[in-house]
Amino acid sequence: MTHVTERFFITTAISYPNGVPHLGHAYELMASDAIARFMRLDGRDVFFLTGTDEHGLKMAQTAEREGLTPLQLADRNAAAFRAMGKALDATNDDFIRTTEPRHHAASQAIWKRMEANGDIYLSKYSGWYSVRDEAFFDEKELTTGEGGKRFAPSGAPVEWVEEESYFFRLSAYQDRLLALYAGQPDFIGPDSRRNEVVSFVERGLEDLSISRKTFTWGIPVPGDTKHVMYVWVDALTNYITAAGFPDEQAPRWKYWPASVHIIGKDIVRFHAVIWPAMLMSAGLPLPKRVFGHGFLTNRGEKMSKSLGNVLDPIAMSQQYGLDAFRYFFLREIPFGADGSYSHEAIVGRLNADLANDLGNLAQRSLSMVNKNCDAKVPPRNALTGDEEALLASAYALAGGGRKHMDSFALHAILADIWRVVGDTNRYFAAQAPWALRKTDLARMETVLWTTAEVLRVIGLLAQPFIPLAAQKLLDLLAVPGDRRMFAHAVPDHALVPGTGLPAPTALFPRYVEPEAAGEGA
RNA sequence: GGCAGUGUAGCUCAGCUGGUUAGAGCGUGGCACUCAUAAUGCCAAGGUCGGUGGUUCGAGCCCACUCACUGCUACCA
Residue nearest to nucleotide B24 (CA to C1'): A419
Q: Which nucleotide lies at the shortest CA–C1' distance from A165?
A: B75
Q: Which nucleotide lies at the shortest CA–C1' distance from A267?
A: B77
Residue nearest to nucleotide B5 (CA to C1'): A192
Please provide the average confidence, as pLDDT, over all residues in chain A.
91
ipTM: 0.91
Q: Between the CA of A334 and the C1' of B57, what is the distance in angstroms?
A: 39
Q: Which nucleotide lies at the shortest CA–C1' distance from A268?
A: B77
Q: Which nucleotide lies at the shortest CA–C1' distance from A434?
A: B35
Q: In a 10 Å sphere around its CB, with 0-12 CB exposed, 13-18 middle and 19+ buried, how is residue A134 labelled?
A: exposed
Whether residue A150 is predicted with pLDDT greater than 80 in this model: the reply is no
Q: Between the CA of A299 and the C1' of B28, what is the distance in angstroms?
A: 22
Q: Between the CA of A70 and the C1' of B16, what is the distance in angstroms?
A: 55
Residue nearest to nucleotide B77 (CA to C1'): A16
Taking the C-alpha atoms of residue A205 and residue A200, their distance in angstroms, rounded to an integer, is: 8
The answer to whether A350 touches A341, Cβ cutoff 8 Å, is no
Taking the C-alpha atoms of residue A62 and residue A277, their distance in angstroms, rounded to an integer, is: 32
Taking the C-alpha atoms of residue A396 and residue A17, their distance in angstroms, rounded to an integer, is: 43
Q: Which nucleotide lies at the shortest CA–C1' distance from A415?
A: B25
Q: Which nucleotide lies at the shortest CA–C1' distance from A332?
A: B12
Closest CA to A298 of A315, A314, A306, A310: A310
What is the structure's pLDDT at A309? 59
Q: Between the CA of A141 and the C1' of B74, what is the distance in angstroms?
A: 14
Q: Which nucleotide lies at the shortest CA–C1' distance from A197?
A: B72
Residue nearest to nucleotide B41 (CA to C1'): A429
Of the candidate ranges A152-166, A227-241, A264-278, A466-480, the one whose mean pLDDT is the lowest: A152-166
Residue A209, H or E segment:
strand A208-209
Q: pLDDT by residue (tens digit) across A267-284?
A: 999 999 999 999 999 999
Say how many Å lie between the first and final Cα of chain A, rounded: 62
Q: pLDDT by residue (tens digit) across A123-134?
A: 988 877 777 666
Closest CA to A459 of A493, A500, A432: A493
Which has more confidence, A127 or A382? Answer: A382
Whether residue A521 is predicted with pLDDT greater than 80 in this model: the reply is no
Q: Which nucleotide lies at the shortest CA–C1' distance from A141?
A: B73
Return the half-sphere exposure (C-beta side, CA atoms, 13 A cut-off) of residue A444: 18
Share of chain A above pLDDT 70, in %: 92
Q: Between the CA of A31 and the C1' of B14, what is the distance in angstroms?
A: 23
Radius of gyration of chain A (CA): 27
Whether residue A172 is predicted with pLDDT greater than 70 in this model: the reply is yes
Q: Between the CA of A267 and the C1' of B65, what is the distance in angstroms?
A: 37
The DSSP code for A342 is -
How far is Cα of residue A201 from the mean position of the Cα atoms in its chain? 26
Whether residue A10 is predicted with pLDDT greater than 70 in this model: the reply is yes
Sheet holding A224-229, edge to edge: A211-212, A224-229, A220-221
Strands annotated E in A31-119: 45-52, 94-97
Q: Is the pTM of this model over 0.90?
A: yes
Whether residue A160 is predicted with pLDDT greater than 50 in this model: the reply is yes
Q: Between the CA of A420 and the C1' of B26, what is the distance in angstroms?
A: 17
Q: Between the CA of A462 and the C1' of B33, what is the distance in angstroms?
A: 29
Whether residue A191 is predicted with pLDDT greater than 80 in this model: the reply is yes
pLDDT band of residue A297 (cuts 50, 70, 90) is: confident
What is the structure's pLDDT at A516? 45
pLDDT band of residue A520 (cuts 50, 70, 90) is: very low
Q: Between the CA of A241 and the C1' of B77, what is the distance in angstroms?
A: 18
Closest CA to A103 of A234, A221, A194: A234
Q: Between the CA of A338 and the C1' of B69, what is the distance in angstroms?
A: 15
Q: Between the CA of A410 and the C1' of B49, what is the distance in angstroms?
A: 27
What is the structure's pLDDT at A517? 37
Q: Which nucleotide lies at the shortest CA–C1' distance from A209?
A: B75
Q: pLDDT by residue (tens digit) across A130-147?
A: 776 666 777 666 667 676
The answer to whether A275 touches A287, Cβ cutoff 8 Å, is yes
The set of strand B positions with any atom below 7 Å of a protein CB reads 2-5, 12-14, 25-27, 33-42, 71-77
Residue nearest to nucleotide B72 (CA to C1'): A196
